[in-house]
């Protein structure tokens, strides 16, 4: 990227923290910056409940293990590019940008291009998890020191000499972290806690000893952090956050529920335009016309094949396509449908994609790119630069992939069959859930007319519930 002259009008960049997950933990200063932003560049851990409030151009950078993403250098250049065009840019990160958020690398690039910026701190995950689980990080006579660490890389895990240790990003490395702590001399009887989805409606907390957690096969799924220390004795299962009854709200006014008693979960849905469906039907009905089919992540694979079956097509119609996947999870998901990718890419940067495609002579082709409603600009640019005609196809809504695994619609499952704790509320009105809304949910028996559509209209008295791995919570 060429540097502009100092006299050229440059934009302004905010490096901002979005907090640990609860949308209400976004700071007033970050909210003000977002309202005035021309461009919002955000990570996967920033919730749609925050992003959807603002009108700037939204660029999704991914940054999650089982979804397509690129190295930090590409993100840095994207921030600088928009700022050099004179735009106001908000780089929005989960938690705090300077606590394992790589904010320091981003401001280095801004300094290089002499772009003005400011840093807006956010509530980091450790503080959010501590408050929402009632596990104090420091406590008189128990813990007078605390250290924040990361669970990566696994061969360089640090174990500081502090009363309380908090490890970020441990979903895939819990056992390695615990092994390192024991090796450093901490007894296996030391208290430990894992907090998954801290401050979110589906937060879960596991407590025990280091030894007990080491014997578990898998302790948590991302995002998760690990807390070590005797202060965990303060944890109670029925804490202030878990006591709140949860309600799934489809209307715009959550004030009808008292925040002291209720946790309102916004129900992200939108009316599906006929143009969306027409585009889906056209592309999938004529899928054999596309020489290249490119899957950027496993969710693109999953939802594409759902629509393929719906429009009376099957894998035989892909016989003449060169099928590419990006990342191992996408290739693994594809194998569930009996297909091995012709080209399974695991690149570290966008340029490596171009090199691999060029080596396979995948240039000047018509490429169908299934994915979310947020088109990956990096990937589009690399594919187009090779002379390809790229047709992005939205097969799912961004954010749906996370929530679908947790939200289930059921009119047949009985309350008694659900595991406690349960807060039950009946559906009071069918008007809030009309047919034709795109919903991040599944029916209990997979009776879907399409992925993300309701197969039937709910009726008053039907039961709607949120299912996590170990518990289910009733919703209205």
3-class DSSP state of 182: helix
Q: Is 414 a catalytic residue?
A: no
70 touches 349 (CB < 8 A) = yes
Q: Which of 233, 222, 176 is nearest to 63 (CA)?
A: 222
Q: Which residues contact 246 (CB under 8 A, 6 or more apart)?
A: 201, 262, 263, 265, 423, 466, 473, 475
Is residue 370 exposed (0-12), middle (13-18) or buried (19+ Cβ within 10 Å)?
buried
Task: Tell how strand 407-410 and strand 463-467 pair up.
Answer: antiparallel
How far, in Å, CA of 369 to CA of 380, rounded?
Answer: 9
Whole-angstrom Cα Rg for the chain: 24
Given the residues 10, 22, 43, 246, the one annotated as active site? 43
Q: How far apart are CA 149 and CA 261, in angstroms?
A: 34
CA-based nearest residue to 398, from 120, 40, 102 = 40
Q: Of residues 63, 93, 191, 244, which has the active-site annotation?
A: 63
DSSP state of 143: B
Q: Tell me if residue 319 falls in helix, strand or coil.
A: coil
Q: What is the largest CA-CA distance in the chain?
A: 71
43 is catalytic: yes
- Strand 12-17 with 116-120, pairing: parallel
Task: Supply the residues annotated as catalytic.
Answer: 43, 63
């Amino acid at each position: 990227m060429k540097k502009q002259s100092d006299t050229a009008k440059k934009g302004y960049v905010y490096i901002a923290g979005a907090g640990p997950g609860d949308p209400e933990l976004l700071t007033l200063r970050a909210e003000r910056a977002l309202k005035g932003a021309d461009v919002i560049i955000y990570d996967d851990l920033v919730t749609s409940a925050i992003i959807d409030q603002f009108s700037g151009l939204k660029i999704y950078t991914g940054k999650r293990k089982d979804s397509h993403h690129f190295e930090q250098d590409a993100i840095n250049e994207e921030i600088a590019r928009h700022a050099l065009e004179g735009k106001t840019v908000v780089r929005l990160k989960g938690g705090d940008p300077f606590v394992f958020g790589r904010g320091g690398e981003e401001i280095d690039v801004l300094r290089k291009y002499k772009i003005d910026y400011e840093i807006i701190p956010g509530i980091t995950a450790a503080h959010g998890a501590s408050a929402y689980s009632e596990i104090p990080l420091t406590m008189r006579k128990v813990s007078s020191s605390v250290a924040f660490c990361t669970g990566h890389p696994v061969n360089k895990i640090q174990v500081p000499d502090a009363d309380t240790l908090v490890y970020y990003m441990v979903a895939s490395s819990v056992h390695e972290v615990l092994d390192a702590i024991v090796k450093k001399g901490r007894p296996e009887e030391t208290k430990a806690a894992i907090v998954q989805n801290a401050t979110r409606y589906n937060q879960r907390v596991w407590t025990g000893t280091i030894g007990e957690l080491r014997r578990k096969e898998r302790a948590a799924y991302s995002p998760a952090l690990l807390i070590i220390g005797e202060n965990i004795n303060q944890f109670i299962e029925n804490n202030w956050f878990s006591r709140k009854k949860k309600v799934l709200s489809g209307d715009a006014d959550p004030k009808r529920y008292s925040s002291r008693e209720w946790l309102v979960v916004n129900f992200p849905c939108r009316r599906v335009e006929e143009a969306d469906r027409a585009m889906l039907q056209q592309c999938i009905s004529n899928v054999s016309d596309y020489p290249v089919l490119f899957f950027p992540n496993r969710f693109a694979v999953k939802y594409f094949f759902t629509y393929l079956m719906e429009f009376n097509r099957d894998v035989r119609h892909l016989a003449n396509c060169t099928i590419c996947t990006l990342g191992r999870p996408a290739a693994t998901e594809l194998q569930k449908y009996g297909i091995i990718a012709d080209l399974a890419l695991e690149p570290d940067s966008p340029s490596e994609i171009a090199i691999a495609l060029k080596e396979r002579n995948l240039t000047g082709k018509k490429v169908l790119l299934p994915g979310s409603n947020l088109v990956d600009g990096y990937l589009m640019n690399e594919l187009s630069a090779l002379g390809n005609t790229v047709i992005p196809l939205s097969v799912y809504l961004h954010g749906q992939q996370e929530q679908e695994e947790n939200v289930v619609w059921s009119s047949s499952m009985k309350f008694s069959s659900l595991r406690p704790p349960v807060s039950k509320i009946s559906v009071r009105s069918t008007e809030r859930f009309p047919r034709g809304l795109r919903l991040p949910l599944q029916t209990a028996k997979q009776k879907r007319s399409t992925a993300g559509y309701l197969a039937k209209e709910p009726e008053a008295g039907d039961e709607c519930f949120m299912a996590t791995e170990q518990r289910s919570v009733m919703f209205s």
